[in-house]
Structure 1
């Protein structure tokens, strides 16, 4: 009988409640034993609802509990690295919401602490666990697409600037849709391409709708402290990434822009076939007996990707398998995001 893993949670907001909690609660090898949040009443309410005894406002006090085996971190982005490093240093395995950190230096510190501690550090990459993504990964690894030499990915919204204040506060979030949405499909694209190393980027960022959103938010949230609310992040970012194997990736991510509809997508082009993956379907494009063919695979309903991601983390902690999400991937990802922001500010290509 495997040991039942005891979990402490840092941050009990909507990301935890709707994306992480269902998976933890359903896992037979996990027991949630503590909740920590700077909002003590929120942590206490969550503890009452789930019959959990441990309630904290200081994560350091929670990490002092030697009974806790692993920690789930769903704080604002600014605190991901700080809390992760403290948890690893305290001997805990760490599962953290994306992004890994808001700058490459902090992401590297996380990776270094994970290596030093010997514990698992895994940052959410739930799109890798979609049935379509896993199918494409196998299809590509078997050589059916040939040499993947270029691609593009994006997530565009017509109007979808988050209402929560910290998402639009650069000091807390690290940026707008690029760091919020971009990390999902850039990571998925690079992973499917075989994880080549990024060597340079060119990027642009635009803030065209922030003032309008701020005015609307202040009207709707009149009972809140409006002085603390701000929107100083981009609402659209685009760019171009070069990799060490000569492959390239175009990107575009927006919270607000005048487009026909919201869509998340990636397209990869190989010498033997192409692939398109959206939030709705997966398609392959190839030639069969000299005839151009479009193929639409059909996938049965499966487990939610967030749940699959957390299940994989537990499997790694229990030493049943090796992680497919490594800390170095996070370092490379945050380097890309940071370089795109720098390129947008300077108007120049940034070497990595």
Structure 2
């Protein structure tokens, strides 16, 4: 399996590259990114071909599988090329700037029969099956709090574009919320809608929201998704707390590895479950490679991002524009 990475200066590169390098029978044959200095250093480090043009890279190296990263505003162009070239690929979320772009890509991928995986990585872990088991009774309420570190981390990673909504599509809502919007769709059904949304850039005064609270509803069932860039912590460390209620049980995720399940009678069970996204990227990469080799479809594809992006757009519309603020240093 010959892999290539495009849009490689994305801050998530390590989450994909490290498991790709240790996947059996896999080699990285090329990397591409518009930044010539970055790509020269990365290609030298990996001992592979590097190019500033992802099209030229793919035509030179003829990879079996591509992991497509990069700016959100470039994802549509990357995906169209890969679909039309017939190259299996995985495309980082959110797969585009808006619902229109993602819907277009989903339709094109379906028409061409493309392998187009999307890292909705909770689907690759053990937490979702626990939720689905509770869901056999019907989920009444869900709440997900997932607060990440400061937006300055994107500047430190030379991904300044993440702080420009014209290039990223928005802030924590479009970046962090999709994992939980996906859980809401899976557990509450396609009819789920945004009831309320509030967003703010009060913490940092950036053009993107640094805090977001979105309430979803499906009939009488409710879900709250709360995300932000306000936790004083390094990358991949989160202020997190999940709570899920079914008619007979209450589930709480206290930390990245522990879930507590409480019955209506008050009986408590503590179980181990990986409840953040980070550990599942390794599983996602290895699973996607295996599925390409065996001719099987991905666990999640671009079509699965369509309802997520619909909810994102509904949330931004409900919240309204952010106030103009002077950036805080």
Q: Give me the TM-score of the superposition, normalised by structure 1.
A: 0.79
Cα drift, residue 136 of structure 1? 1.0
1:161 to partner: Cα distance:
4.9
1:24-63 alignment, distance < 5 Å: 24-52=20-48, 54-63=49-58
Closer/same/farther in 2, CA of residues 201 and 194 from structure 1, 3 Å limit = closer
Q: Kindly indicate whether the alpha-carbon contact (under 8 Å) linking 2:184 and 2:192 is maintained by their aligned counterparts in 1.
A: no
Shift of 1:246: 4.7
Q: 2:112 aligns with which of 117, 123, 145?
A: 117
Tell whether 2:316 aligns with 1:306.
Answer: no
Q: How does 1:210-289 map to 2 (within 5 A)?
A: 210-211=204-205, 231-243=206-218, 246-256=220-230, 262-277=238-253, 278-287=255-264
Describe how 1:1-352 pairs up with structure 2 within 5 A.
5-13=1-9, 15-52=11-48, 54-65=49-60, 67-131=62-126, 133-137=127-131, 139-140=133-134, 143=136, 146-157=137-148, 159=150, 161-164=152-155, 165-191=160-186, 193=187, 195-211=189-205, 231-243=206-218, 246-256=220-230, 262-277=238-253, 278-287=255-264, 291-298=265-272, 304-319=279-294, 321-345=296-320
Per-residue CA deviations over 1:307-331 (Å, capped at 9, x if unaligned) read: 1011221222123654321322201
Deviations 1:185-242 (A, max 9, x none): 3323443x1643333442111111223xxxxxxxxxxxxxxxxxxx311111112112
Measure, in 1, the Cα distance between the counterparts of 2:288 and 2:189: 20
Cα RMSD (Å) of the superposition?
Answer: 2.7
Runs of 4 or more off by more than 4 Å in structure 1? 157-161
- Going from structure 1 to structure 2, the CA distance change for 1:190 and 1:58 (only over 3 Å counts) comes to same
Rg larger for: 1
Does the aligned pair in 2 maintain the 1:161–1:255 contact within 8 Å? no
Unmatched segments (≥5 aa) in structure 1: 212-230, 348-352
- In structure 2, C-alpha distance between the alignment counterparts of 1:294 and 1:160, rounded to whole Å: 38
- Matching residue of 1:350: none
Alpha-carbon distance in structure 2 between the residues aligned to 1:102 and 1:123: 15
**1:215 corresponding residue in structure 2:** none
Cα distance, 1:190–1:274 mapped onto 2, change above 3 Å: farther
Q: Taking structure 2 as the reference length, what is the TM-score of the superposition?
A: 0.84
The Cα shift of 1:337 comes to 0.8
Matched with 2:327 is none
Gap regions ≥5 residues in structure 2: 323-329
